[in-house]
Amino acid sequence: MVTLRQDQPVEYKARIMMEYTQKEFDFFISHASEDKERFVKPLVKELKRLGFKVWYDEMTLKLGDSLFEEISNGIKNSNFGIVVISKSFLKKAWAKKELNGLINKEIITNSKVILPVWLDIEVDDVLSFSPLLADKVSISVKPNEIDKVIAQILSATNLEIIPRETILEQIDYLRNCTEDERNKYIIDTEARIKNLIYFQEAYYNWFTSDDVFEGDEWDDLLADKKRFELQSSYRLPYNVTYNSEFHPKNGMNEILILAKKWIRQKANAAEIYELIFLIDWYHELDLPYLLWGYPEQSLKDMETHNLCFTAPFTTNPKKIFRRTQIEEGMKEIFASYYSVDEQDISNASFEFLISHVSHEMIVEGSEK
């Protein structure tokens, strides 16, 4: 628990809140050691290959760590708990402790947290161990059915890993879509931008109110519950990236104007970079989600991530931007927002800005 005094400013509360809402792991895996080699290790390997972050004792615990404390943190800092239930698991004294931690989280947050996997076991065995667990929808598998487990997990959690090819398809769509399709893309993009920013405002107003927890202690489970409620209300994916330190809505209007201009293929290099700058640097929002519809945490790898930032310069087939044009636009925008002369921008600052724009999709030619 984190203690928040009533006399602390809301900005301090916002920083504390950020530490307790961004989940470190997608999955926590509760299992018996007897099942590690034959099932759990292959499952973890496949989840990690797909790009997911997994809390798994062999990978996460370090020498000297408190087992109970680390497992509690693993449950708290994971979005879902995969419980591998086998005859060996049911014999473990600690199994019910881990399971109770996940059940409590599920009850408090009013969200689906536990993903039971029955490994070579029957319903009667589970029923005698935990009636609550036996009543949950589960998947029954053999040790060699990892693909079946993965498919069920992805279906149950609505998780998706987005490869580079999906973003390339979006680029091609914007380059060639009809006017009606372009208008629909604008409507969808506007909705994502407004929903994310209005969600941030609502969440900020909630957690900075003095009586939010009816006491002094920060309750991360209650904060999670409220976040899930608001994300559902604003139709946001649970893994969208957001900035809990609320920004004025005039920033939203600037983003909306630039986004429309970009989608309509009327933006120049400086305006496109200003759009990227406002979303990613200035307001620290989820650019892949706002512009392409896929949360940043769902992207398969860094190559796909970088493409999301490069791609806005490539969606207009009638304009080919030179790298020098983009660099000039970036310096101009950075200087105007931070009230410094373009010549005063340090090489380090500029290199950080230019790092988002890779060479692979910027043509070294003149702007047409």
98 among known catalytic residues: yes
Residues in the chain: 368
Structure tokens at 132: 């609550």
CA dist., res. 130 & res. 193, Å (int): 44
Choice among 70, 98, 229, 328 that is catalytic: 98
CA dist., res. 18 & res. 203, Å (int): 11
Please give, one letter per residue, the 3-state secondary structure of the chain.
CEECCCCCCHHHHHHHHHHCCCCCEEEEEECCHHHHHHHHHHHHHHHHHCCCCEECHHHHCCCCCCHHHHHHHHHHCEEEEEEEECHHHHCCCCHHHHHHHHHHHHHHHCCCCEEEEEECCCHHHHHHHCHHHHCCCCEEECCCCHHHHHHHHHHHHCCCCECHHHHHHHHHHHHHCCHHHHHHHHHHHHHHHHHHHHHHHHHHHHHCCCCCCCCCEECHHHHHHHHHHHHHHCCCCCCCCCCCCCCCCHHHHHHHHHHHHHHCCCCCHHHHHHHHHHHHHHCCCCHHHHHHCCCHHHECCHHHHHHHHHHHHHCCCCCCCCHHHHHHHHHHHHHHHHCCCHHHCCHHHHHHHHCCCCCCCCCCCCCC
* Residue 301 CB neighbour total at 10 angstroms: 13
Any idea what DSSP says for residue 235? Answer: T
Backbone angles phi, psi at 205, to 5 degrees: -60, -35
19: amino acid identity, one letter: E
| Catalytic residue IDs | 98
